[in-house]
Amino acid sequence: MTSIALYRRYRPQSFEDVLGQEHVTETLQTSIREGRIGHAYLFSGSRGTGKTSTARILAKALNCEKGPTPNPCNVCDTCVAITEGSSLDVIEIDAASHGGVDDVRELRENALLAPAIARKKIYIVDEAHMVSTQGWNAFLKTVEEPPEHVIFVFATTEPHRVLPTILSRCQRFDFRRISSATIAEHLARVAKEEGIEADEGALQLIARSAEGGVRDALSTLDQLAAAGSVTVQDAARLLGSSTGDLMFEFADALATGDTGAAVQRIAQLVEEGHDLRVFARQVVEHLRALLLTKHVAEPGDLIDATDETRARLAAQADGFSGAKLLHALRAFVDAMSEMRQQAAPRLSVELAVVRVTMPEADDSAASAIARIERLERVLEVQRSGEQPPPAATKAPAPEPVAKPEPTPSKSTKRAKTTTKPAAEKAEEKKAPPEPNTAAGLVDLEMVRRSWPVVLEEVRQKSRKLHALLGDAGVQSFDGRVITVEVRFAIHGDMVTEQKNAALIADAVQSVFGISPVVRAVVSARAEEPAEGLDAIDDTSADPLDVLKSGFGDDIVEE
Ligand SMILES: Nc1ncnc2c1ncn2[C@@H]1O[C@H](COP(=O)(O)OP(=O)(O)O)[C@@H](O)[C@H]1O
Ligand SMILES: [Mg+2]
Ligand SMILES: [Zn+2]
């Protein structure tokens, strides 16, 4: 093998060689055939998708001695000079290093001169988003009224950073990511030609991790080939798991509420020296793609992804409710902006994870999302015409004293005394609670899980009552009566005072859509933690220890 990198050696030299961009190349060929050539083009797309190659082919097509032609000959002096990069009339500028105003001024003057040999003078401005604002302003006049012999091709990975007045004067072509099947085929062809022995599986792995970029795929093949043969094991070792896979795994953890897996992943990234700011942005991008996939029928160019990735996105989006996705996106956008302001990126990302995977721990958006999700369930039941079971038949209303909690290990020492259910009496004087569609759908477990959300609702109304409830958990719920477990009898009396019981019932109503009767029991195990925090206590991975301290203890006395 020679030492020229594969990706340079296999640069497409005719429009037909450009993989996966037929929507661009065929349009260009037609306009050349019909003599309708623009003065300014914008080629946008991620790296290694063929922008520069296509710009050079266009230059050849226009300047070929046998042209202008949609099929440049590649053998005439002009074509050869362009291929070799020695043509005086095809000028490539890297805006990353030459995007300043002086560079552009020089270019502008130069552009006025007629081409040296060829028909057209073609400026290929690479990384066009790096042109400075002043640079663009210097460009503007030339792009607005270009000399007859001048054509500009601006290539960029970030079209939104190109000055809008320039954009509006360009004919725009969006280069797509190339499917991994196409890339794998291409790699196989190159390997064969180069006499590189390569497993098909390895090539597929390389193609997939290139995420639509041919250049990266060829570079990886190059690297592996230099080390000997190209096997699946070698490829896997070199590539690790790609960013794409990582994002899918991470989002899976968010979807299933696997706090441990998500936080572990963050720990691993930190250990490997990744920039969590970059990670957070990638997560936001991934969630955005999921959201668009879920809600937009034909997202098209709104999502920058290969077809396989789109299919994976669709499958993953199914695992999220719309509300949860939106909530997750919010959480990570917040994390990003937090990170911009202060210096604890890890904590910001971990907090975002907890907000998403334990909505109960989040006091704002979560209560909304919990409500929406429950509402969605209620609506679903109504739509399917299924009658939710009447609340009363779900479980007989237990007398807290007579029937302690069924959990064997805890039940024996659980309830000691019952305070008189004053609220119940008050409640019963009113009309019986109207048959409630939501009631049959809400069970003890659900109430416990979202109890912190209820407490937060209470806090909004009365800090005193919130403080009083403190770490009170839910002892039982039968669809109608909710029994709160408090530490001291006096607290129980206060909780069931009519005013307070009504406040709690309202909070439950706003979260679950049901209006329960509130009772209280005094806990026999005052030293044990409240129910709401159990979920957090279960995971004692140390990052969570840090996080834990941020929740639950924000009681402020009035
Ligand atoms: N669409 C494509 N078809 C075939 N090869 C490609 C394609 N896109 C990129 N390549 C490979 O990657 C190299 C760099 O491509 P280039 O056109 O410079 O990409 P870009 O300008 O979009 O970053 C090419 O020399 C070629 O080997
Ligand atoms: Mg390029
Ligand atoms: Zn030619």
Centre of ligand 2 to C-alpha 548, Å, is 48
Q: Count Cα atoms within 13 angstroms, Cβ side, for 123.
A: 30
Q: Give the mutation target among 214, 219, 221 for probing the ligand 1 site: most ligand atoms within 8 A of CB.
A: 214
Q: CATH fold of 248-357, please?
A: Zinc Finger, Delta Prime; domain 3 (1.20.272)
Q: Examine the pLDDT at 211 and tell me if it is beyond 60.
A: yes
Q: Whose CA is nearest to atom 24 of ligand 1?
A: 11
Q: Which range has the worst mean pLDDT, 5-19, 107-121, 243-257?
A: 107-121
Highest mean pLDDT among 187-191, 377-381, 438-442, 475-479: 187-191
Which superfamily does 6-174 belong to? P-loop containing nucleotide triphosphate hydrolases (3.40.50.300)
Mean pLDDT of 433-438: 44
Question: What pLDDT does residue 374 have?
Answer: 62
Centre of ligand 2 to C-alpha 10, Å, is 14
Question: What pLDDT does residue 300 have?
Answer: 77
CA-to-CA distance for 125 and 106, rounded, in angstroms? 14
| CATH 3.30.930.10 corresponds to the domain 416-542 | no
Centre of ligand 3 to C-alpha 72, Å, is 5
Per-residue tokens: 399: 């007398």
Q: Are 403 and 475 in contact (CB under 8 A)?
A: no
Mean pLDDT of 436-443: 57
Q: Are 268 and 279 in contact (CB under 8 A)?
A: no
Per-residue tokens: 276: 């969590």
Ligand nearest to the CA of 126: 2
Question: What pLDDT does residue 273 have?
Answer: 74
Domain(s) labelled CATH 1.20.272.10 in the chain stretch across: 248-357
Q: Examine the pLDDT at 131 and tell me if it is beyond 50.
A: yes
Phi, psi of 207 (to 5 degrees): -60, -45
CA-to-CA distance for 103 and 512, rounded, in angstroms? 64
Centre of ligand 1 to C-alpha 52, Å, is 7
pLDDT, mean over the chain: 78
Q: Whose CA is nearest to atom 18 of ligand 1?
A: 52
CA-to-CA distance for 235 and 216, rounded, in angstroms? 13
Closest approach atom of ligand 1 to CA 218: 27
Q: Whose CA is nearest to atom 7 of ligand 1?
A: 50
Q: Whose CA is nearest to atom 12 of ligand 1?
A: 215
Per-residue tokens: 487: 């530490």
Q: Over the stretch 510-542, which tens digit does the pLDDT of each residue have?
A: 777 778 899 988 877 544 443 333 333 333 333
Q: Which range has the worst mean pLDDT, 40-54, 147-161, 405-419?
A: 405-419
Q: Over the stretch 60-90, which tens digit does the pLDDT of each residue have?
A: 999 999 989 999 999 999 999 999 999 989 9
Q: Examine the pLDDT at 315 and tell me if it is beyond 70.
A: yes
Domain(s) labelled CATH 3.30.300.180 in the chain stretch across: 416-542
> Which listed CATH number (1.10.8.60, 3.40.640.10, 1.10.10.10, 3.30.1240.10) goes with 180-239?
1.10.8.60
Closest approach atom of ligand 1 to CA 178: 1
What is the CA 528 to chain-centroid distance, rounded? 39
CA-to-CA distance for 158 and 160, rounded, in angstroms? 5
Domain(s) labelled CATH 1.10.8.60 in the chain stretch across: 180-239
Please report which confidence band the pLDDT of residue 242 belongs to, taking 50, 70 and 90 as the band edges.
Answer: low
Mean pLDDT of 15-31: 96
Q: Which range has the worst mean pLDDT, 315-319, 412-416, 451-455?
A: 412-416
Q: Over the stretch 371-411, which tens digit does the pLDDT of each residue have?
A: 666 655 555 555 555 444 444 333 444 444 433 444 444 33
Question: Greater confidence, 350 or 438?
Answer: 350
Centre of ligand 3 to C-alpha 69, Å, is 9
Closest approach atom of ligand 1 to CA 126: 21
Q: Over the stretch 351-360, which tens digit does the pLDDT of each residue have?
A: 899 888 887 6
- Measuring from each residue's beta carbon to the nearest atom of ligand 1, which residues come in under 6 Å? 7-8, 10-12, 18-21, 45, 47-53, 155, 178, 214-215, 218
Centre of ligand 1 to C-alpha 281, Å, is 26
User: What strands, in cross-sheet order, belong to the sheet with 473-477?
Assistant: 415-418, 517-523, 481-486, 473-477
Per-residue tokens: 432: 């019986």
CA quadruple 276, 282, 285, 287: dihedral, nearest 10: -80
Closest approach atom of ligand 1 to CA 56: 17
